[in-house]
Structure 1
Amino acid sequence: MYWRRWHSVNVARWMFCAFVAMSVSSVSFSQDAGCEAVAAGQRDECAEKAMKAADRVLNDSYDAVIDRAGFRYIFQYQSRHEEHKAFLDRLKNSQRAWIKLRDSNCRLEGFENEWDTTSYSADLNRCAAKMSLERALYLDGILPAH
């Protein structure tokens, strides 16, 4: 009984990781190749789409960490609710701090084009997409499935 549940959870995690890997590569491709190949007026729209796709990948990775923490709580920390809550609080605080860092770094990267609102917006979106995908990969490594 326990093995079947463990096996089905691990298969689901493997499938999720494969999906995330495909999403990351497709977003990276659209960010690198697709946005540079379009006309200058469409780069902002393309970069915005890449940023939104990367944000979805990031949110999925964040939710997956919470799911993995819940799974660990059920099987390992049943009598230690405080540890589970402390982990979730630290995760939330870490994510909030990272968002501030990402936004600050992206404003710095786009500084040269700040006067050109279209280029600046595209720079911010490209930077946010890149950093969000990097953060998603980092979150995927937190509390890995055994």
Structure 2
Amino acid sequence: MNRIVRFIALPLGMLCGSIAHAEDDCKVISVSWQVDVCVKADREKADAKLNASYKKLMARFESQQKRDPEQGKAFMAIARESQRAWIKLRDTTCPLEATDIDPDAVMHSTSINSCVARMSLERAVYLDRIVADSPGDVVDMNKVSRSGAKRYQDVVARYLYSFDNPCLTVQILAPDGGWRVFSSAQFCSFDGKSFRSGYTDARFEEPVFADDGLHLTLSTTELYAPGEKRRACVIPIKNEQIKVLKCGEPESS
């Protein structure tokens, strides 16, 4: 009996390893069971995307209704009720797409999972488009003198320079949600001093996106001290968030 158990366990272990490998690379489908595995993975990714979009919508309601918290709570209650009703609609609609498939067949669950993934992604895009961006997130593109962008998983980060403005604007956008601005930050000061009034000259130069964020050089000239100081800096971007500017010591001349 022990020999039989060991004989069975080995192929099962090999099968689990194959499934894990298929989840990592679903672009190449060589056997039929990979379809089910990959569709399940797509459903999980879509569910995660939907949950993230829903949480961001609730956060927008909360942040943009600070002057009227009760109204914000009312909007959030509407969103919760709508989401619950939509989930029920999705979960009762998708089985319709599998009515012509034997319930005991693998393709029955595959068809349902495919439908759930598709509807979840569509819903995520819909939620991303609800509630206008706050005024501080809107940039007059006619005044932009220079810009750059990089994709970070499901979002796009961009930097913007404007004419006659020493500030640097960094934003996180949702390409699948009508390019909604998820977050925005302006960098207009360093060491507690404004670029406009605290220095003779202050500006960011040579911006380049990398995997960990936006790398650039900060050039400053003090009001009452001669000479330019240049520092290597980075604005970290992690988990769809713009972090605090970090700069090193001035470069030696």
Q: TM-score, normalised by structure 1?
A: 0.69
The 3 A distance-change label for structure 1 pair 103 and 35 is farther
Query: Is 1:42 aligned to residue 34 of structure 2?
Result: yes
The 3 A distance-change label for structure 1 pair 125 and 101 is same
The 3 A distance-change label for structure 1 pair 93 and 38 is farther
Query: Is 1:60 aligned to residue 52 of structure 2?
Result: yes
1:139 aligned residue = 127
Unaligned runs of 5+ in 2: 1-25, 135-253
In 2: Cα distance, 1:106 partner to 1:85 partner: 32
Q: Cα deviations across residues 91-140 of structure 1 (Å, max 9, x unaligned)?
A: 00000000011111101111111433311111111000000000000000
Shift of 1:144: 2.8
Shift of 1:39: 2.0
**Alignment equivalent of 1:127, drawn from 115, 124, 146:** 115
In 2: Cα distance, 1:85 partner to 1:60 partner: 19
Q: Match for 2:82: what amino acid?
A: S
1:69 aligned residue = 61
Over alpha carbons, which structure has the higher Rg?
Answer: 2
Q: Which runs of 4+ in 1 moved over 6 A?
A: none
Aligned to 2:100, what secondary structure does the other structure show?
helix
Unaligned runs of 5+ in 1: 1-33
What is the identity percentage for the equivalent residue pairs of Structure 1 and Structure 2? Answer: 39
Higher relative contact order (Cα pairs below 8 Å, separated by 6+ residues): 1
In 1: Cα distance, 2:126 partner to 2:30 partner: 30
In 2: Cα distance, 1:103 partner to 1:128 partner: 7
2:62 touches 2:69 (CA, 8 Å); kept in 1?
no
Query: Is 1:85 aligned to residue 85 of structure 2?
Result: no
Query: Is 1:109 aligned to residue 101 of structure 2?
Result: no
In 2: Cα distance, 1:57 partner to 1:130 partner: 11
In 1: Cα distance, 2:30 partner to 2:104 partner: 18
In 2: Cα distance, 1:134 partner to 1:141 partner: 11
In 2: Cα distance, 1:94 partner to 1:36 partner: 38
In 2: Cα distance, 1:106 partner to 1:35 partner: 24
More helix by share: 1
Q: TM-score, normalised by structure 2?
A: 0.41
The 3 A distance-change label for structure 1 pair 145 and 62 is same
Shift of 1:85: 1.2
